[in-house]
């Protein structure tokens, strides 16, 4: 393992003013997104949609540091025969790959899940590296509910995340470590804070046990937010203050950067929260975004599967990417949203 090279890629992924586009929706998820805009989820349509994003010159070259791909996408070629990974590289962004294989019910833990996909991962990573992937992503899913999460679910998922991260680094691939505490449910922000703290502490404990080099990884956590069904939604300033406090308590300074997931927040909420955190003064790591839906909902709607809407889709994508890039520097202002609208 060459740690200098891994660190270089990790630093590039969290370049100030840039963030990561999560374009790694599974076939089931992208079908839901396409159903919402009345587009059939065929291999060609999925390719055309993602090609539109990767060819968005302004967004990709100025505001996107890396793109997380799904297995189907990393092997696809654009309409003109250019591999999609080459389009990403040409824009100056880094291709990455989602390597987990989804979740299964966790035995003896009703209502809880464990992420699978470690079998044969070493061989898969080698192939992805040859194809151009320089980072990977694995998502653990922790739900908050009555009596959950159990310590079992937290431990098992943290162990798998660390195993995956070690395998990545052994293949010279930077792991994005994503322990997501879901915002579904009616819990308040303090309950989210407590659970996330337990999850992050256990995750870093496992990463150390399995000798993962913290300088060669990127963390992709949830923010401390109220559950979607909680009658009292925490305001932006509280989300920012509690999330930063939580990260300072749990995340070693050796980690180059933290790229947040949006986790079901609205486009503007995700941007406002990131901006408020970056205004809280000097932090030990760079804070940026690794958004899927919060970067793509607007371009999907503008495009709606029609070739004549490609420019509109790209302009919607460029706008969201720019708003989040400003937020990653603490320079966003909600007035900028209204101007564009």
282 vs 10, 65, 244, 285, 329, CA distance in Å? 19, 22, 11, 9, 11
* Boundaries of domain holding 327: 3-340
Give yes or no for residue 246 having a pLDDT over 90: yes
Q: What is the pLDDT of residues 36-53, one digit of tens each?
A: 999 999 999 999 999 999
161 or 337, which is more confident? 161
Residue 12 has what pLDDT? 98
CATH code at position 42: 3.20.20.70
What is the mean predicted confidence (pLDDT) over 153-180?
98
CA 133/CA 118 separation, integer angstroms = 18
Number of domains in the chain: 1
What is the mean predicted confidence (pLDDT) over 309-319?
96
Residue 281 has what pLDDT? 85
Give yes or no for residue 340 having a pLDDT over 70: no
Does the predicted model carry a pTM greater than 0.75?
A: yes
Give yes or no for residue 341 having a pLDDT over 60: no
Mapping DSSP to helix (H, G, I), strand (E, B) and coil, where does residue 317 land?
helix
Residue 338 has what pLDDT? 80
Burial (CB count <10 Å: 0-12, 13-18, 19+), residue 37: middle
What is the mean predicted confidence (pLDDT) over 119-131?
98
Give yes or no for residue 22 having a pLDDT over 70: yes
pLDDT grade for 241, boundaries at 50, 70 and 90: very high
At residue 188's C-alpha, the angle toward residues 184 and 194, to 5°, is 95
CA 141/CA 245 separation, integer angstroms = 22
Mean predicted lDDT score pLDDT of the chain: 97
Q: What is the pLDDT of residues 260-270, one digit of tens each?
A: 999 989 999 99
Q: Which residues are catalytic?
A: 178, 220
- Asked whether 228 and 264 are in contact (CB, 8 A), the reply is yes
306 vs 256, 312, 320, CA distance in Å? 40, 10, 20
Q: What is the pLDDT of residues 53-71, one digit of tens each?
A: 999 999 999 999 999 999 9
- Asked whether 251 and 200 are in contact (CB, 8 A), the reply is yes
What is the mean predicted confidence (pLDDT) over 281-306?
95
């Amino acid at each position: 393992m060459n740690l200098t090279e891994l660190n270089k890629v990790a630093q590039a992924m969290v370049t100030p003013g840039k963030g990561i586009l999560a374009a790694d929706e599974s076939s089931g998820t992208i079908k839901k997104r396409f159903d919402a805009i009345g587009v059939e989820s065929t291999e060609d349509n999925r390719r055309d949609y993602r090609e539109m994003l990767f060819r968005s010159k302004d967004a990709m070259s100025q505001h996107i540091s890396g793109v997380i791909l799904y297995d189907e996408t990393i092997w696809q070629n654009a309409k003109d025969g250019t591999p999609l990974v080459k389009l990403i590289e040409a824009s100056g962004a880094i291709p990455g790959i989602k390597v987990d294989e989804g979740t299964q019910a966790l035995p003896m833990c009703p209502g809880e899940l464990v992420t699978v996909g470690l079998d044969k991962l070493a061989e898969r990573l080698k192939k992805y590296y040859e194809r151009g992937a320089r980072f990977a992503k694995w998502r653990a899913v922790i739900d908050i509910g009555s009596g959950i999460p159990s310590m079992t679910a937290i431990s098992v998922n943290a162990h798998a995340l660390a195993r995956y991260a070690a395998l990545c680094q052994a293949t010279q691939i930077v792991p994005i470590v994503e322990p997501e505490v879901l915002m579904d449910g009616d819990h308040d922000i303090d309950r989210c804070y407590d659970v996330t703290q337990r999850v992050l502490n256990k995750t870093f404990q496992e990463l150390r046990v399995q000798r993962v080099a913290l300088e060669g990884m990127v963390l992709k956590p949830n923010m401390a937010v109220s559950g979607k069904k909680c009658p009292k939604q925490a305001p932006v300033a509280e989300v920012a203050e509690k999330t930063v406090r939580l990260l300072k308590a749990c995340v070693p300074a050796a980690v180059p950067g933290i790229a947040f997931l949006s986790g079901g927040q609205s486009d503007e909420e995700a941007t406002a929260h990131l901006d408020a955190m970056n205004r809280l003064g000097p932090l030990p790591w760079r804070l940026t975004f690794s958004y899927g839906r919060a970067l793509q909902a607007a371009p999907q709607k503008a495009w709606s599967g029609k070739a004549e809407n490609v420019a509109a889709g790209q302009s919607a994508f460029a706008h969201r990417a720019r708003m989040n890039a400003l937020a990653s520097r603490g320079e966003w202002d909600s007035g900028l949203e209204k101007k564009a609208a």
